[in-house]
Amino acid sequence: MIHKKLKPFPPHFLWGAASAAYQVEGAWDVDGKGVSNWDKFVRIPGKTFKGTTGDVAVDHYHRYKEDIQLMAEMGMKAYRFSVAWTRIFPSGRGEINEKGIEFYEHLINDLKAKGIEPILTLYHWDLPQALQDEYGGWESREIISDFTRYSVELFKRFGDRVKYWVSLNEQNIFTMLGYRLGAHPPGVMDDKLFYQVNHHANLANASVIKEFRKYVPDGKIGPSFAYSPAYARTSNPKDIIAAENAEELNSHWWMDIYAWGRYPKAVWNYIESNGLAPQIEEGDFELLSQGTPDFMGVNYYQTTTYEENPLNNGAGIAKINTTGEKGTSEDTGIPGVFKTVENPHLERTDWDWNIDPLGLRIALRRITNRYNLPILISENGLGAFDKLEKDDVVNDNYRIDYIRTHIEAMQEAISDGVDVLGYCVWSFTDLLSWLNGFQKRYGFVYVNQHEEGEHDLRRVKKKSFDWYKKVIASNGTVL
């Protein structure tokens, strides 16, 4: 559909950028912070690119003032960040660490003073290690009350100033990589446990949303889902059903429960017949239906194309590209269900991520059609090798192209009738990429941080910085 005239972005549109505590803060053992699962995992040899850790990350903990000053200079309207649970409750529960509260207190106040709307993520993957050791973290239902207690503390402390909250960041990714691919902590590969862990995370998500209503009645909360719309490789019905399987298993499985408190039927019956269904207890679905969100947070990076995957000798779990050597990722699948395949119509990044702006419009329309909820684009951006040139210049024209085309697609979707609350680019400063180290960069601000060699952590504005500044100032009319 071509619109003769595009709808403008709404007047208070949240033009922003996003980050996560472990990826920016550093100061991993400072001011009473406890040890998280990531603090531990990165110390296991071979787990991250060149053994990178977030011990220092980009030192945002000590340099947040400078970073916020840069955000203000850019004119940013919103900043999405996450709280490190281990700063607030070093052992996950029990005594509160006031020093941790103080840090976020200052961060939030500083943002507000500069007219930047804070968007607070409660959980962006850094689980207190103490809870993993004590009861297996997400593997136990005990996590529900501990996560709720921690979240309620933040609602009480910051609910008067923070109006936008993200509950869980990319539950689909942290559980998939943690419990199916074994690539994130706790490094497990167990399909049945994967579904059980997800059920607990769903309950924890619903429980905090339910509590949120009591403490922050005028706020908005939702999870951030990593949505990669499924395409079929051909019009062969066998490829179409493979893509439908992927859409249901990889997306509706999570978004249906968030929005409606129920699991999609086809997936439930599939996992049940394969002995993978989670244990449900009385009252679970009641809680799930009471804890529904105000918006769907969407982290969009790419679409995925699927084809038929035979049951016998079909493709299974395969290698992911964490080096930036183009073409080193392999197609992956579930035998008898689907298999991924390269899309010949799309360019790929050096990490083999498809570049597909139109896919964002498709994503936004599909979510709107199915759930009819407002959408916060909580992440979107391009990971690339940036080059710091002479006189501190970074010419990241490829990033400008990526973001521009995605903003255009977002405006098309708004014109289609999608209610988009805001757009957070991943990321503001460069930061640590979980498995890819500091070489995979996303920021508008270059940070001189590397695995090896000179790294004085200085901040350098990239070309995209000035470009996005103009986008914001013109409310998306100058792209």
Residues that bind ligand BGP (CB under 6 A): 20, 23, 169-170, 173, 226, 299, 379, 383, 426, 433-434, 436, 440
Give the SS3 label for residue 224. Answer: strand
- How many CB atoms are closer than 10 A to CB 142? 17
CB of 155 to ligand BGP, least distance (A): 22
Structural contact between residues 53 and 449, judged by C-beta atoms closer than 8 angstroms: no
Q: Helix and strand tally (H, E) in the chain?
A: 16, 16
State the nearest-atom distance from the C-beta of 18 to ligand BGP, in Å. 8
Q: 187: Cβ–Cβ under 8 A, 6 or more apart, which residues?
A: 41, 44, 47, 178
User: Closest CB to ligand BGP among 23 and 329?
Assistant: 23
CA distance 347 to 351: 11
Q: Compute CA 444 distance to the chain's CA centroid, rounded to the nearest angstrom.
A: 18
Q: CB of 195 within 8 A of CB of 277?
A: yes
Helix (H) or strand (E) holding 225: strand 220-226
Query: Closer CB to ligand BGP, residue 86 or residue 436?
Result: 436
Kindly tell me which of 266 and 320 has the beta carbon lying closer to ligand BGP: 320
Structure tokens at 44: 């296991």
The helix (H) or strand (E) run that includes residue 4 is: none
The CA distance from 187 to 45, in Å, is 13
DSSP string of 170-214, one letter each residue: -HHHHHHHHHTS--STT----HHHHHHHHHHHHHHHHHHHHHHHH
Based on CB atoms, which residue is closest to ligand BGP, 154 or 425? 425
Strands (E), 252-335: 296-299, 304-307, 333-334
Alpha-carbon distance of 230 to 387, in angstroms, equals: 33
Which residue number is nearest to ligand BGP in terms of Cβ?
A: 433
Q: Are 300 and 326 in contact (CB under 8 A)?
A: no
Q: How far apart are CA 88 and CA 348, in angstroms?
A: 40
Rounded to whole angstroms, what are the CA distances from 208 to 153, 154, 199, 211, 281?
11, 11, 14, 5, 18
Alpha carbon distances (Å) from 334 to 106, 108, 245, 444: 47, 44, 10, 37
Q: Which lies closer to ligand BGP via its Cβ, residue 254 or residue 270?
A: 254
Using alpha carbons only, what angle is made at residue 467 by residues 226 and 66, rounded to the nearest 5 degrees? 80
Nearer to ligand BGP, 58 or 232 (CB): 58
In one-letter notation, the amino acid at residue 29 is D
CB atoms within 10 A of CB 219: 18
CB of 173 to ligand BGP, least distance (A): 5
Residue 440 Cβ vs ligand BGP, minimum distance, rounded to whole Å: 5
Q: How far is the CB of 57 from ligand BGP (least distance, A)?
A: 12
Catalytic residues: 379
Query: Rounded CA gap, 73 and 210, in Å?
Result: 37
Based on CB atoms, which residue is closest to ligand BGP, 261 or 383?
383
Residue closer to ligand BGP (CB basis): 323 or 405: 323
